[in-house]
C-alpha cells in the first residue's frame, strides 16, 4: 500500500518570513474556513515565534487571538502547532524555567496541540525542559533539529541529538531547514536513520525555498520515510518562504505517494484573502525582495528571511566603507561587490566561531560580526575589533554548547579581555521569576486571566505587555501605519511632535573620524533613544558619553525591545537617527569615538 504524506500549512511562518506583522485575529478567523475547505491539511501552524509579540504591538490581546484562531481547526479535526525557541521560549533572550513551564500550560489550554521546540545551537540540554513541559501539559512534543551544512553537521552529529531527544520523551522530530541549505541526500539519510532506529517517531520536514533545494529535499525525505511536510500557499509561497502545496502535492502524487485531494476553489479563496490582507495593510511591511529565490544563499548559508533586510543593512555601511576606501586611495566598492565580500567574510568567520547554526539569533550575530570585520579591516584595523555583548555570550557558552571548536585566536581574545567560558547548563543562569510577576499583576490591579494567560504574557513580554495595557502600542502602530499610507498617497495625521535634528552624512563622519566606531540598529523597527516615543527632549547629542555593552538606546521591533549596545567606551561624535525614526537592521544610528 502506498505511504501517505500529510501536509501542514505554516500560515504563521509564511507571514513571519515575509514581513513584520501577522494578520489580525478578525482576518485569521476569516481565512480559517477556506483553509479547512482546501481539504489537504492535517495540521496548521497557528502561533508561536513572534505571533504573540505581533498582537501586542498591534495593541491587541494575543491570548484572544490564539484561542479564536485555533478553535475552527479543532472543530474540523485539524491539529494546530506552534514554534518555540527552547531556552528563549517566545522571545530573543533566555527565559526562566517556571515561565517556560507556564507557557506550555497556557498554550495547551488555548488550543495548541503540538509544540515544535528548537535550540539555535542544537544543544539538547536546552530542549530537555521543552520536551518535558510540553508532555506534562498534554501537548505533543515535537523536538526540532536546526539544519545547516558544514563539516561538523553530519548525519552522525544529528543522530546523537535525536538519541537524547527520544530519551527525554519527544514524540516527534522536525528537521528545521531554516535556510533551506540542507543537502537533499543528507536529509534523506538522516530521516532514514531516524525511522530505522525509532520507527514510532513521526518526522516532519520544514524547509525554506530561498536557495532552491527544498523540493528535492522534500522528495528525498518523503522517500526516506518522513510523515509530514510543511508547505505554503500563494501569494506568499516560494521566494524566501516555503514551497507551495500544489507543486509539492503533485510531485509526491506522481512519485506514488498517497496524498489528500485539494479543493482548488478553496485554494483560490485562501489566495484571495491572503492577498486582501496584504493589500489592506500588511504589504507595507513586506520586502519585495522576499519573493525572489537566490542561489547566493548556498555558499554563506544565511537564512532566506534575512536577505532583504541584510541588503538594506549594507547600504549605510557602503558609505562608511567607501569613505575608508577613498582615505586609503583605493577605488570605491559597489553594493554587489560588498555583498560578495560579506558572504565571503561570513564563510570565513563561521568556522572560527564554532559553526553555530545560522538561525535566529545566531545568524544575526555572525552576520553583524562579519560586517564589523569588513569595516575594521578596510580601515586598517584588525579583525574582531568589534564584537557585541550578545555574540560574546554565544562564544562563551552562555547560550549553550557550540557545535564545533572555537578558533585559537577567538579563545585567546577572550582570555585577553578577561572573559570566562561557561560549560554548565544555560538554564541554571536564569532563576525563576513567576512570583515576581504575580506580585506585579497584583500591584497593577490586573487579573491573571483565564489559565493564568495574562500573567504569562507579562512574564514573557513585559515591555510589550505594558505598552499594550497602556494603549501606547496601539497608538504607535496606528501612527506607523498612517506614515506608510501617506507615502503611498493617502493623507496622514501627525500624532507626535517632530523635533528637527541636523542630518549627518555617514561618509563625512567616517572620513572625519577615522577611528570612530559605528553604532548599529540591532533590528528593524522604531528608533527610541528614550523608551517613550514622544519623549524627544533628551535624545543624545554629540559629546554624550557611552559605555561599551551598556544600552544607549533601543529599537522597538515586532518581537520586543532590542537594546543598542556600543562596542567601545567613548562619546558620540554624531547621531544619525532621530527619535521615533523607522530604522533598518544594521543601519548606522550614531558614531562613537
Domains in the chain with CATH codes:
6-287 (3.20.20.70), 294-428 (no CATH), 506-592 (2.40.50.100)
| Element counts in the chain: helices (H) and strands (E) | 22, 16
Residue ranges with strand state E in 178-299: 202-207, 228-231
Q: Which residues of 279-310 are buried (b: 16+ CB within 10 A; e: fewer)?
A: eebbbbbbbeebbebeeebbebbbbbbbbbbb
CA–CA dist 547, 592 (Å, integer)? 10
Alpha carbons within 13 A on the beta-carbon side of 65: 24
pLDDT at 541: 61
Q: What is the residue-level pLDDT of the chain in tens, covering all 593 positions? A: 799 999 999 999 999 888 888 999 999 999 999 999 999 999 999 999 889 999 999 899 999 999 999 999 999 999 999 999 999 999 888 999 999 999 999 999 999 999 999 999 999 999 999 999 999 999 999 999 999 999 999 999 999 999 999 999 999 999 999 989 999 999 999 999 999 999 999 999 999 998 999 999 999 999 999 999 999 999 999 998 999 999 999 999 999 999 999 999 999 999 999 999 999 999 988 878 788 888 877 877 777 656 555 655 676 677 777 877 788 888 888 887 887 888 889 889 999 999 999 887 888 889 889 888 988 887 788 999 888 888 999 999 999 999 999 999 999 999 999 999 999 999 999 999 999 999 999 999 999 999 999 999 999 999 999 999 999 999 999 998 998 888 877 443 333 333 333 444 555 555 555 567 888 888 888 888 765 444 444 456 666 788 877 788 888 776 566 788 887 778 887 788 878 788 887 788 888 87
Instruction: Name the pTM for this structure.
Output: 0.81
What are the CA-CA distances from residue 524 to residues 309, 460, 463, 556 (Å)? 8, 21, 17, 8
- Judge contact between 576 and 591, C-beta under 8 A: yes
DSSP H/E element including 109: helix 97-110
- Judge contact between 71 and 34, C-beta under 8 A: no
Which of 156, 237, 204, 242 shows the shortest CA–CA distance to 5? 204
Which SS3 state, helix, strand or coil, does residue 415 take? helix
pLDDT at 496: 34
Which of 81, 94, 77, 1 shows the shortest CA–CA distance to 39? 77
Beta strands 545-546 and 570-575 are antiparallel
DSSP H/E element including 418: none
DSSP H/E element including 339: helix 335-352
CA–CA dist 299, 210 (Å, integer)? 12
- Judge contact between 356 and 362, C-beta under 8 A: yes
CA–CA dist 480, 582 (Å, integer)? 9
DSSP state of 551: -
Alpha carbons within 13 A on the beta-carbon side of 416: 8
216: which 3 cell numbers?
Answer: 528535492
**Cβ of 561: how many Cβ atoms within 10 Å?**
19
Beta bridge pairs of residue 82:
47, 115
Q: Is the alpha carbon torsion for 280, 286, 287, 291 positive or negative?
A: negative
DSSP state of 212: S
What are the CA-CA distances from residue 468 to residues 288, 496, 531, 560 (Å)? 30, 18, 14, 12
Which positions ≥6 away from 183 have C-beta within 8 Å? Answer: 149, 213, 217
Amino acid at each position: 500500500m502506498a505511504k501517505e504524506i500529510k501536509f501542514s500549512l505554516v500560515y504563521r511562518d509564511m507571514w513571519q518570513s515575509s514581513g513584520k506583522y501577522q494578520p489580525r485575529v478578525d482576518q485569521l478567523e476569516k481565512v480559517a474556513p477556506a483553509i479547512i475547505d482546501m481539504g489537504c491539511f492535517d495540521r496548521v501552524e497557528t502561533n508561536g515565534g513572534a505571533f504573540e509579540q505581533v498582537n501586542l504591538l498591534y495593541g491587541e490581546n494575543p491570548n484572544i487571538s490564539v484561542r479564536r484562531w485555533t478553535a475552527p481547526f479543532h472543530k474540523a479535526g485539524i491539529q494546530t502547532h506552534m514554534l518555540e525557541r527552547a531556552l528563549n521560549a517566545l522571545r530573543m533572550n533566555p527565559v526562566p524555567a517556571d515561565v517556560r513551564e507556564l507557557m506550555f500550560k497556557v498554550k495547551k489550554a488555548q488550543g495548541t496541540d503540538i509544540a515544535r521546540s528548537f535550540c539555535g545551537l542544537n544543544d539538547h540540554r536546552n530542549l530537555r525542559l521543552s520536551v518535558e513541559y510540553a508532555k506534562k501539559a498534554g501537548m505533543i512534543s515535537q523536538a526540532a533539529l536546526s539544519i545547516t551544512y558544514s563539516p561538523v553537521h553530519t548525519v552522525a552529529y544529528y543522530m546523537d541529538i535525536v538519541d537524547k531527544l527520544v530519551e527525554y520523551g519527544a514524540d516527534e522530530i522536525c528537521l528545521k531547514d531554516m535556510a533551506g541549505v540542507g543537502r537533499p541526500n543528507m536529509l534523506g539519510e538522516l530521516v532514514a536513520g531516524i525511522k530505522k532506529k525509532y520507527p514510532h517517531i513521526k518526522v516532519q520536514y520544514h524547509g525554506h525555498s530561498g536557495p532552491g533545494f527544498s523540493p528535492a529535499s522534500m522528495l528525498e525525505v518523503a522517500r526516506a520515510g518522513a510523515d509530514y511536510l510543511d508547505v505554503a500557499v500563494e501569494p506568499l509561497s516560494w521566494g524566501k518562504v516555503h514551497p507551495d502545496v500544489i507543486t509539492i502535492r503533485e510531485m509526491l502524487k506522481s512519485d506514488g505517494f498517497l496524498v489528500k485531494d485539494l479543493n482548488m476553489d478553496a485554494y483560490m479563496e485562501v489566495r484571495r484573502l491572503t492577498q486582501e490582507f496584504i493589500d489592506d495593510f500588511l504589504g507595507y511591511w513586506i520586502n519585495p525582495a522576499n519573493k525572489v529565490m537566490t542561489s547566493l544563499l548556498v555558499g554563506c548559508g544565511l537564512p532566506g528571511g534575512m536577505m532583504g533586510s541584510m541588503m538594506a543593512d549594507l547600504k549605510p555601511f557602503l558609505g562608511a566603507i567607501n569613505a575608508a576606501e577613498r582615505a586609503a586611495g583605493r577605488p570605491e566598492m559597489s553594493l554587489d561587490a560588498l555583498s560578495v565580500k560579506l558572504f565571503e567574510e561570513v564563510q570565513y568567520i563561521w568556522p572560527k566561531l564554532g559553526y553555530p547554526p545560522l538561525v535566529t539569533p545566531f545568524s544575526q550575530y555572525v552576520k553583524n560580526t562579519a560586517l564589523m570585520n569588513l569595516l575594521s579591516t578596510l580601515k586598517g584595523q584588525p579583525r574582531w575589533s568589534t564584537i557585541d555583548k550578545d555574540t560574546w555570550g554565544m562564544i562563551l557558552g552562555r547560550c549553550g554548547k557550540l557545535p564545533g571548536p572555537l578558533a585559537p585566536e577567538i579563545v585567546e581574545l577572550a582570555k585577553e579581555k578577561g572573559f570566562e567560558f561557561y560549560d554548565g547548563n544555560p538554564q541554571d543562569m536564569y532563576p525563576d521569576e513567576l512570583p515576581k510577576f504575580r506580585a506585579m499583576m497584583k500591584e497593577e490591579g490586573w487579573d491573571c486571566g483565564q489559565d493564568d494567560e495574562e500573567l504569562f504574557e507579562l512574564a514573557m513580554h513585559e515591555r510589550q505587555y505594558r505598552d499594550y495595557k497602556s494603549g501606547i502600542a496601539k497608538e504607535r502602530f496606528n501612527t506607523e501605519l498612517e506614515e506608510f499610507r501617506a507615502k503611498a498617497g493617502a493623507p496622514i495625521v501627525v500624532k507626535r511632535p517632530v523635533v528637527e535634528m541636523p542630518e549627518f552624512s555617514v561618509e563625512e563622519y567616517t572620513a572625519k573620524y577615522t577611528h570612530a566606531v559605528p553604532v548599529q540598529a540591532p533590528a528593524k523597527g522604531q528608533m527610541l533613544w528614550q523608551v517613550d516615543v514622544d519623549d524627544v527632549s533628551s535624545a543624545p547629542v554629540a559629546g554624550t558619553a557611552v559605555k561599551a555593552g551598556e544600552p544607549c538606546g533601543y529599537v522597538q521591533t515586532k518581537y520586543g525591545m532590542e537594546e543598542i549596545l556600543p562596542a567601545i567606551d567613548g562619546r558620540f561624535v554624531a547621531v544619525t537617527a532621530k527619535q521615533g525614526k523607522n530604522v533598518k537592521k544594521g543601519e548606522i544610528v550614531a558614531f562613537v569615538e
